[in-house]
Amino acid sequence: MTEFEPTRRALLAGAAMAGAATATGTAFAQDSSDNGGDPLTRQAADFPKPPYPKQQQPWPGLAQKMEPRPDHGEESYRGNGRLRGMRALITGGDSGIGRATAIAFAKEGADVAIAYLPEEEPDAQDVKRVVEDQGRTFAAFPGDLRDQSYTKGLPEKVVQELGGLDILVNNAAYQQWVPGLEELSDEQFDQTMQTNLYAMFWLTKAALPHLNPGASIINTSSTVAADAPEILIDYSMTKSAILSFTRAMAKQLASRGIRVNAVTPGPIWTPLQVAGGQKPENIVDFGANTPAGRAGQPVELAPLYVALADPAFSYSTGQVFGATGGSPQPAG
Ligand code: NAD
Ligand code: MG
């Protein structure tokens, strides 16, 4: 079982009870040298706003090739040792929200394993550098989550490499827009279900024997779970199902001291969106229709995943936490 530090946990408990947003308020770097001396406004002022440059990549896309480059917290996230000694597996940890989570977890003192597709190796190497710069252990597991034996074998491999498993982040997803149901092929429908649902089911089941009290499972859903866009039929179906899985598993695992929560991001600047996730013409003003008036950057989600992984957040399970730029939180 992982050794969590009791004194630090006790200190953090008060902050965590005040809610995820409050508990995460100090996570961003507060280096006044590059922010005009005002750490509180630096991030909001610096994040890119629409219009974004037109761009498309073949699926699954690389963060390396996006313009502007997404902010995954390589420089901007500052840790406070909240996950010291813990071991995490993050699917889709090479880019986007999963990568920001991997980097933040490492900066909070965790060892990190990521799963990703072999063609995403260049992005995975970037994550490896940042995690190892923190002095943390990094393990890479390239493979296809639709491959049942690969996915079911992941937790055991993580335990071999990292010495245990305390945090599972089911984050990988397949999202391709289609104009209508007639254009939604059986192949795409299968791929979306297999990646977004079957893999989560296989992986969670295979992880359970390794998870001890204090462990946490975090599933990435989406605001589309409650407000499904007409061009994202299959994808939206899976994001609703992820909420049901989260709620049922939370009930099932509460008595074992294992928490299960979900995050619902709004529009976030990641390869998913420029590799077929959105209509190409929608990239230029991506996120402009949120109250924030822009797409979120992956690093802006990281503090939420850290809070949900932190054992101090011990009374929150079966919950759905939004990061939407001010759009309503889905009730779904
Ligand atoms: P991303 O492209 O950076 O991450 C998705 C990852 O899924 C890829 O990096 C890839 O490694 C992985 N993946 C896909 N198919 C796979 C397969 N068959 N085998 C192994 N890995 C596979 O994009 P992201 O936006 O950071 O996506 C992360 C999560 O956030 C997803 O669950 C997505 O649904 C969710 N989300 C994103 C947004 C957004 O606007 N970007 C909004 C709401 C929810
Ligand atoms: Mg990727």
Q: Is 272 in the pocket of ligand 1 (CB under 6 A)?
A: yes
User: Which stretches within the chain are classed as H helix?
Assistant: 6-17, 20-23, 39-46, 96-107, 121-133, 148-162, 186-193, 199-207, 233-253, 271-272, 302-309
Cis ω on the peptide bond leading into residue 229 (within 30° of 0)?
Answer: no
Ligand showing the shortest atom-to-Cα distance for residue 171: 1
Q: What is the dihedral of CA 59, 145, 223, 238, to 10 degrees?
A: 110
Q: Is 172 in the pocket of ligand 1 (CB under 6 A)?
A: yes
**Whether domain 2-16+60-323 has CATH 3.40.50.720:** yes
Mean pLDDT of 229-233: 98
284-326: pLDDT as tens digits: 999 999 999 999 999 999 999 999 999 999 999 999 999 999 9
Task: Tell which atom from ligand 1 comes closest to the C-alpha of 63.
Answer: 3
Ligand 1 centroid vs 173 CA: distance in angstroms? 4
Q: Which residues contact 288 (CB under 8 A, 6 or more apart)?
A: 50, 294
Ligand 1 centroid vs 96 CA: distance in angstroms? 7
Structure tokens at 145: 């989550």
| H/E run at residue 197 | none
In the chain, domain spans = 2-16+60-323
Ligand 2 centroid vs 94 CA: distance in angstroms? 5
- The helix-helix angle for 96-107 and 121-133 (nearest 10°) equals 20
Q: Is 276 in the pocket of ligand 1 (CB under 6 A)?
A: no
pLDDT confidence bin for 241, thresholds 50/70/90: very high
- pLDDT higher than threshold 70 for residue 21: no
Ligand 1 centroid vs 37 CA: distance in angstroms? 35
Alpha-carbon gap, residue 81 to 101, rounded angstroms:
14
pLDDT confidence bin for 329, thresholds 50/70/90: confident
Write down the pLDDT at residue 46.
81
Write down the pLDDT at residue 328.
85
Catalytic residue among 52, 77, 116, 235: 235
Give the neighbor-by-neighbor strand order of the sheet with 259-265: 138-142, 111-116, 87-91, 167-170, 216-220, 259-265, 320-323
Nearest to 98 by CA among 132, 54, 63: 63
Write down the pLDDT at residue 327.
92
Q: Is 117 in the pocket of ligand 1 (CB under 6 A)?
A: yes
- pLDDT higher than threshold 70 for residue 19: no
Nearest to 126 by CA among 78, 202, 71, 67: 71
Percent of the chain topping pLDDT 90: 85
Mean pLDDT of 15-24: 35
Write down the pLDDT at residue 34.
42
Ligand showing the shortest atom-to-Cα distance for residue 62: 2
**Under 8 Å between Cβ of 20 and 313:** yes
192-207: pLDDT as tens digits: 999 999 999 999 999 9
Identify the sign of the CA torsion 153, 240, 270, 131: negative
**Under 8 Å between Cβ of 275 and 77:** no
Mean pLDDT of 125-136: 98
The whole-model pTM stands at 0.91
